[in-house]
Amino acid sequence: MQVNEIKEFRPKIVAFCCNWCSYAGADLAGTNRLNYPSDVKIIRVPCSCRVNPMFILRAFQRGADGVIICGCHPGDCHYTSGNYYARRRMTLLFSMLDYLGIEKERTRVEWVSAAEGAKFAATMNDFVETITKLGENKRLEDLRCKE
């Protein structure tokens, strides 16, 4: 029998960042050496409207504890309207997840511009803290995907 070591909980966080604003904002956070936990892994998408609710569920299935979508501020979308569509889709999806009793804090949308490196880092610090408090994602997980 193996005795499981009690490990410090390190959340897995997937951040979808739009190429034009938020990904650039994340780069700026790096350029300015603004620290945020390594638990956050960024996936680059052309626009926040590229994020399919399926991707978010997939992340949870595969063991993510939190998913955050970052896009340009409303009105500043590189494609003019993408983040507006993303906003509606995510509002409805998050509301549905909440309705099903899945912790609503596990999903988040933030608007981060290319100039907001500090906001990007602060947002990620805050999100990681929230998810760490919430603990492991139990309600929307696929046990087969866990180690």
Residues in region 2-41 near another protein by CB under 8 A: 12, 14, 19, 23-24, 26-31, 33-36, 38, 41
119 binds another protein (CB under 8 A): no
> 73: buried, middle or exposed (CB in 10 Å: 19+, 13-18, 0-12)?
middle
Q: Least distance from C-beta 1 to another protein, angstroms? A: 25
135 binds another protein (CB under 8 A): no
DSSP 50: G
Q: What span, in angstroms and rounded, lies between the C-alpha atoms of 42 and 113? A: 15
Q: Reduced to 3 states, what is the DSSP secondary structure of residue 42?
A: strand
Residues in region 53-112 near another protein by CB under 8 A: 53-55, 57-64, 74-76, 78-82, 84-85, 87-105, 107-109
